[in-house]
Structures are given as C-alpha cells and as structure tokens.
Amino acid sequence: MADLELTLACWSYDRTRALMDGSVKPDGVALKYENLFPAATFQRMMGKHEFDASELGLTFYLDTLHYDDPPFVAIPVYPIRLFSHSAIYINTKCGIERPQDLVGRRIGEFFLYGHDAGTWAKGILADDYGVPIDSYSNYIGGVERPTPPLEWYRQKPPPNIKVHHIGTGTTLDAMLDAGEIDALLSALVPHSLQAGSPNVRRLFPDFEAVERDYYKRTGIFPIQHIVAIRKDVHRKHPWVARSLFDASTKARDKAYEMYRYQAGNMHRMFMIPWITQHCLEMQELLGDDWFAYGLKKNYKPLDTFLRYHYEQGLSKRRFKPEDLFVPELLDT
C-alpha cells in the first residue's frame, strides 16, 4: 500500500528540521512539509482548514473546542515553548518601574486579546505580582504592520475586560514608541527596541535571571503551540496521530543529538560565542529532556495555561490537559 500523502505546516525549527528535510519520515506517511511563519499557518489552517496538520497556537486550538463540531484534534507535540517575562515591553517615559505599575495602564497585545505569549504574561503578572487582569485597558492589533481584526477567530473578551482594536492606520510598536500605549505584550520583539529607541525597553531588563528564577520556583517551561490534525483526516486515518507524534519526537531527538555532539566540539557549528556555557547552564537547570513532548511531563505547564485561559475569560469551561489530545496519546 502506498504511503498516505499528508501536508504539515510548521516553521523551520531546529526540533522539526529533520521532518522538513526528510531525514525523519513518519511511518506510512509521504509528508509534505510546508515551511511557513506561524501567523500565516494560523490564518490558513483556522480560516480554510488548508493543511492536513499544522502547528497551532494553544489559544486558537482552544477556541475551536467550543465549536459545535470542532474541526481539529491535537497531539502533544510543542513546536514553541517560550518564557514570557521577556515578552513584556514598556515605554520608558511613562513611569513604569515595576510590574505593579501596570495597574491602570494602556497595554497593547499582539493580534488579539489572548494570544499565547500574552496569556502567559498576564497570568504570571496576576499570580506573581498582583496585577489583576481587569486592572488595565487592552489595545490589540499589529505590532510590525497594521492588522485588521481576525475574521476567523470567534472568541470575544469577557464584559469586564476593556479591549480596543487600534485599527489599520498604525501599529502597536509605533504607539509604544510614541507613548500612546504604556506597555506591550508580544511574541514579536518590537522594531523600536531592536533599533535602539530610548523610549522602549523590557519590563524586566535582566529577563534571563527572572525567567530562570521562575522556572526554579514553578518547574514551568511555558508551552505556546501544539500540533493539530484535521478531524476528518484523523477519523479516516486514526494511526496518523501516533505516526506524527513518534516522528516529531525522533526529529526533536536529532536536534538534541546535534547540541550534545557539538558540546564535544566547542559548538563550532554555531557562530555565537560562549554558546557552550549557555547550553551547560540551561541543561543544568532544565535537565536532559529540556524540550519534552508528551502529556505526563508537561501536565503542569499545560494546566497552568488552561487555568489562565479560563481566568482571563477566554474559555467557557475549565479545560484539563487531557481534554486537548487524542485518547491514544494520553499515556505519553
């Protein structure tokens, strides 16, 4: 029997590159890997169900679980994990010196109320710094370029949350630089910061130390994306979920092998000085399986995100991690 032709839309990550270049092949699948930036993938997958499988932001996937007939199922593969303290930016002239100063402010958020990095950041600000989610005004829109509201995203913010779309005549980056908003939550680093604007900095200048401390206290390495499979594909070929999970794990393991092999070669493959020391420190803190897949090792970060999603009015019910994935992979 010929292999099943399957499209997977995902960006070119080190942990997925072996799937993209074909050095890891899912059993029984002739995989066509569409190398796309996540925002493009989300629009095409959510709007038109264009791919058989794709990476998908947790917020977008959770939104589909409220549909009468959810179009996707998911597997516990996490293309993106990012600490989110570093995703909080402030205008330097508006008097914000500590997280608590965000109360009563105007805060921008990339794309929508509830994007994954923003959900994590708002949850952490509430849990660790006493900044209630309804204590500031939210401004949503494009960071780098003007972006209209997302027509394919159905979830609306709760009545107690003030959300304003900034329209298509400006960007959140420009507004932050000009002081028209006081802070920004964004998975994209604003250009103004990269260009050295004196008006913009991170809320936590020493974000690495803050994020390391967060991990030491909580054991959480935040998860932002999962891999979704169209439900009609899974219904017809249920074995595909296990095949993609196993292949994704093998591809991730090849990335592990690259970093471990390079440790014995002073990481000469990479053009970043002192990366060896960083890798050693990271591995000492996060362990050998620092980018773990599966449900069991990731129950706490998933459950924390789901709590934040519910508390921020984005979920109609309090999901549990086992609600997210196909039954045949709940033992992973």
Could you give the CA distance from residue 138 to residue 121 in angstroms, rounded to a whole number? 13
pLDDT tens column, 140-175: 999 999 999 988 888 888 999 999 999 999 999 999
pLDDT score of 152: 87
Any idea which residue has 């190398």 for tokens? 35
Q: Which long-range contacts (CB under 8 A, 24 or more apart) does 163-168 make?
A: 163/113, 163/137, 163/138, 163/139, 164/137, 164/138, 164/139, 164/140, 165/139, 165/140, 165/141, 166/108, 166/139, 166/140, 166/141, 167/141, 168/141
- Residues contacting 304, CB < 8 A, separation 6+: 123, 218, 220
What are the tokens at 194? 């990269």
Could you give the CA distance from residue 114 to residue 248 in angstroms, rounded to a whole number? 27
DSSP string, 2-16: PPEEEEEEE---TTT
Edge-first strand order for the sheet with 29-35 is 29-35, 4-10, 53-57, 225-230, 72-75
What are the tokens at 166? 């900034």
pLDDT tens column, 23-79: 999 999 999 999 999 999 999 999 999 999 999 999 999 999 999 999 999 999 999
Region 243-257: mean pLDDT is: 97
pLDDT tens column, 108-143: 999 999 999 999 999 999 999 999 999 999 999 999
Does pLDDT of 1 surpass 80? no
pLDDT score of 73: 98
Full-model pTM: 0.96
pLDDT tens column, 178-237: 999 999 999 999 999 999 999 999 999 999 999 999 999 999 999 999 999 999 999 999
Task: Give 227's Cβ-side CA count (13 Å radius).
Answer: 28
Strand runs (DSSP E) across 113-245, as ranges? 137-141, 163-165, 183-185, 200-202, 225-230
Residues forming a β-bridge with 109: 140, 185
pLDDT score of 155: 82
pLDDT score of 177: 98
pLDDT tens column, 83-102: 999 999 999 999 999 999 99
